Amino acid sequence: MDTIKDHNTTRNDPTDEPNHALIVPPLNFSMIMPGIYRSGFPSVKNHQFLLELGLKSIIYVSDSKCLDYHTTFCKDNNIEFTHYKVKLNNEPFKEMEQAAVCKIITKMLDTRNHPILVHCDRGVRRTGWITTKLHERIQHTTKSQDNAQPANLHSAIKRHSSTKCSESANNDRISSIIKTLDRIYTKLEDPKASYNSIIDLREKEQVVQDYASFLKQIDTKSENDTRSLQRKQSESVEGKTLFVKGNYSTKGEPTTCGSKALFGYDSPISATVVDLLENSGALILGKTNLDEFGMGSSTTFSAYGPTKHFLKTNDGLEAVNKLKKHVDVGEITSNETQNSVNLEEDRCSGGSSGGSAVVVGAGLWSDTGGSVRLPASWCGVVGFKPSYGQCSRYGLVEYASSLDTVGILGESVSTTKAVYKTMAKYDSKDMSCLPEKARSALERLYNSTKGSNSVASDHEKPNLKGIRVGIPQEYYIKELSESVVQAWKHTSKILEQMGAEVVKVSLPHTKYALSTYYTIAPAEASSNLARYDGIRYGYKHTDEIPDEASGTSSTSSSSYAAGRSFMNKYAYTRAMGLGPEVQRRIMLGTFVLSVGTLRCKNPTESAVDLLLVPTGCSTAPPLSAFSAGDHENKSASSDYILHSYVNDVMTVPSSLAGLPSISIPVGISKTDGFPIGLQLISQFGNDDSVLDVALKLEQALLNQNTHEQDLFGNYLPLVPKIFH
């Protein structure tokens, strides 16, 4: 297309003009329709007029460079400036490049950019052509949606904006999602890359299709629709990739809970929290491995096999040796000790959400006795257990109904908080879910008692002045490793430096927590899992029962033999369908009557705002420590059971009380190079407070030891490089 020789000759040079106090519109200025204006190139004397319009956006259409004074004006007044390089035509209204015109019109019709001004050099040919095409687009859209003419052109813009003008933005979002999924799915093509953490992976095309449907559904609603408001409130989870723990129901997809008893079962419903996340634009990629029905602390009791830690023993020791060369950290593990271990030995990822911790980024899982927080500590990620009843349990396959709580694993506290805010909604399908009145009452209670005990905003320096943090003396047990003790003491000092008051407290009933938990949980599990009998639900053994298992004799009466045969088939089906750890807990729980159990969850005034305690007694132990629980070696089995259950001692108390607690990584053990996590625990219903303090503590820890942060940048990237 032809162009004129010098576009700048038509502009007003600001150096030739004095400052003007008058409000003067630009050359050829006019309103196309409410919120959309056109003109020639503005001069300095026109700037006051443009400010009076309250412009949000300016589009400059020309193939020549814009004068600096104009771009500076836009920048100084927070006006978005966009330059589309479009050639000038000698013939008025001659067709311009379609691609450029389409982009310009799309931006003009997006009401989020209004008021908007489009201008060229003189405001005649290029803006005239754009104005013509704009009217054509609106008329075409209006006719295709509705035979009736809208009341005015502004309503046509709104209607058009909810469909056509967002297509370009949505395509950009989808393209970005596809790139993210390509990276994840390419990595997972190698079975070793997942460490047996994923038990069901959705088709990538289906994930993209679901996200596209979400965008289309949202954009077809009007601006005043509640779904549009919901989108604005939950934009923080839109486009995030999530994995769901295997005991959450997802409609039309396998829900096995890591048990042979549920192989082949596809759920007819989705869990409420899954629906909430999907309706907010989160991408559910699949399901992760777990201890069978959530019973365990190691993710070794799964019909799919154990989930391994993403680090081997050798990885941790290499980091320790690297540390010895560059940093003076005192006495650490000797070479003789390092040489005596199996360097290629696999480590435990924790449980029962070990699969979730390995693939975190962020993930959604359940928490009964600490099954989110313990793997979070061992894998160096954030694990949050909300107050009991904050999130709906509908669609979660039950283990212990009075203890089961939705939990979240995330790469940071901010990510975890965003997911929690999306899920923490009342659900009438779960009778234990807190109603809105209770939520409002709790919010008023903590707001009224907060006073000066408020955490600084995200834009301020982390400040915990007025916050009292308790250090329970009962948590100093002999099983605590030296690294965990040092990390606990160091983090306490960090909190003091941030302005918090750290005090010693006594919780005398803590010693009863573990025995109480393993009384209540197995008893409720015994009842909940009775349904998996092969008759109503679950795996059914159809082959002939071996003679040694049948227990019948030829002298038995026919009716007695039939009854014995039925009971034997029932028992044999459960023996074959349920794993050894589940059977152990069912047998333990059968002897316990849990009907009289009563737990008071009413928040009361206490001496401290938060508790700081370890998440686990040690760093991630070798996987072999959890493989000795076989029936042939009774001594090893007993040692294993004791070792396995004691791992819950730090997390169980807050689960029994239904309190919100969060585990965050606080450093790395200088003994084995594996991450260490600590918990913050608050009062029932005070979830926001524990998240806010955790966020500030996370920031303070990551700002420490900058030399080590640079030295070990790619090693455990989510963990502060503070060695204990």
Q: Residue 238 pLDDT > 80, yes or no?
A: yes
Confidence of residue 549 (pLDDT cuts 50, 70, 90): very low
Q: Residue 530 pLDDT > 50, yes or no?
A: yes
Tens digits of per-residue pLDDT, 581-606? 554 544 444 433 333 333 334 444 45
Beta bridge partners of 61: 84
Q: Are 261 and 570 spatial neighbours (Cβ–Cβ below 8 Å)?
A: no
The winner for highest mean pLDDT among 87-96, 157-166, 309-318, 636-645 is: 309-318
DSSP state of 396: B
Average pLDDT, the chain: 74
In angstroms, how far is CA 475 from the centroid of its own chain?
29
Tens digits of per-residue pLDDT, 697-710? 999 998 887 667 67
Task: State percent of the chain over pLDDT 70.
Answer: 65
DSSP state of 234: T
Closest CA to 351 of 284, 258, 256, 414: 258
CA distances, 562 to each of 456, 533, 568, 572 (Å): 71, 18, 10, 15
Confidence of residue 292 (pLDDT cuts 50, 70, 90): confident
Q: Are 529 and 578 spatial neighbours (Cβ–Cβ below 8 Å)?
A: yes
Q: Are 471 and 680 spatial neighbours (Cβ–Cβ below 8 Å)?
A: no
Q: Is 378 helix (H, G, I), strand (E, B) or coil?
A: helix
Report the distance separating Cα 223 and Cα 221, nearest Å.
7
Q: What is the mean pLDDT of residues 44-71?
A: 87
Closest CA to 110 of 166, 52, 167: 166
Q: Are 294 and 374 spatial neighbours (Cβ–Cβ below 8 Å)?
A: no
Q: What confidence score (pLDDT) does residue 382 get?
A: 93
Q: Residue 386 pLDDT > 70, yes or no?
A: yes
Confidence of residue 293 (pLDDT cuts 50, 70, 90): confident
Task: State percent of the chain over pLDDT 90.
Answer: 19
Q: Are 410 and 395 spatial neighbours (Cβ–Cβ below 8 Å)?
A: no
Q: What confidence score (pLDDT) does residue 84 get?
A: 85
Q: State if pTM tops 0.85.
A: no
Catalytic residue annotation: 245, 352, 371
Report the distance separating Cα 492 and Cα 499, nearest Å.
11
φ, ψ of residue 382 in degrees (nearest 5): -95, 135
CA distances, 229 to each of 82, 172, 221, 232 (Å): 28, 22, 10, 5
CA distances, 665 to each of 455, 662, 678, 689 (Å): 20, 10, 7, 18
Report the distance separating Cα 70 and Cα 177, nearest Å.
36
323-341: b or e for each residue (b if 16 or more CB lie within 10 Å)? beeebeeeebbeeeebeee
Q: What is the mean pLDDT of residues 287-302?
A: 82
With 0-12 CB in 10 A as exposed, 13-18 as middle and 19+ as buried, what is 90? exposed
Q: Residue 384 pLDDT > 90, yes or no?
A: yes
Q: Are 370 and 650 spatial neighbours (Cβ–Cβ below 8 Å)?
A: yes
Strands 661-668 and 501-505: unpaired
Virtual torsion, Cα 328, 332, 338, 343, nearest 10 deg: -70
Report the distance separating Cα 212 and Cα 209, nearest Å.
5
For each of the domains in the chain, give its residue range(s) and CATH number, in order of start. 7-161 (3.90.190.10), 198-510+601-711 (3.90.1300.10), 511-590 (no CATH)
Q: Residue 59 pLDDT > 80, yes or no?
A: yes
Q: Residue 417 pLDDT > 70, yes or no?
A: yes
Q: Residue 40 pLDDT > 80, yes or no?
A: yes
Higher pLDDT, 549 or 295: 295
Tens digits of per-residue pLDDT, 642-659? 556 666 778 888 888 889
Higher pLDDT, 531 or 477: 477
With 0-12 CB in 10 A as exposed, 13-18 as middle and 19+ as buried, what is 222? exposed
Report the distance separating Cα 547 and Cα 248, nearest Å.
38
φ, ψ of residue 397 in degrees (nearest 5): -65, 125
Q: What is the mean pLDDT of residues 376-389?
A: 91
Beta bridge partners of 405: 367
Classify the phi-psi angles of 385: left when phi > 0, otherwise alpha if psi is within -120 to 50, otherwise beta: beta
Report the distance separating Cα 478 and Cα 81, nearest Å.
65
Q: Residue 427 pLDDT > 50, yes or no?
A: yes
Higher pLDDT, 292 or 583: 292
Residue 617's Cβ-side half-sphere holds a number of Cα atoms within 13 Å equal to 16
CA distances, 664 to each of 296, 406, 661 (Å): 21, 17, 10
Confidence of residue 58 (pLDDT cuts 50, 70, 90): very high
Classify the phi-psi angles of 466: left when phi > 0, otherwise alpha if psi is within -120 to 50, otherwise beta: left
Tens digits of per-residue pLDDT, 159-188? 554 455 556 667 778 888 899 899 888 888
Strands 283-288 and 198-201: antiparallel
Amino acid type, 567: M
Tens digits of per-residue pLDDT, 98-115? 667 778 888 888 888 889
CA dihedral over 15, 21, 22, 24, signed as positive or negative: positive
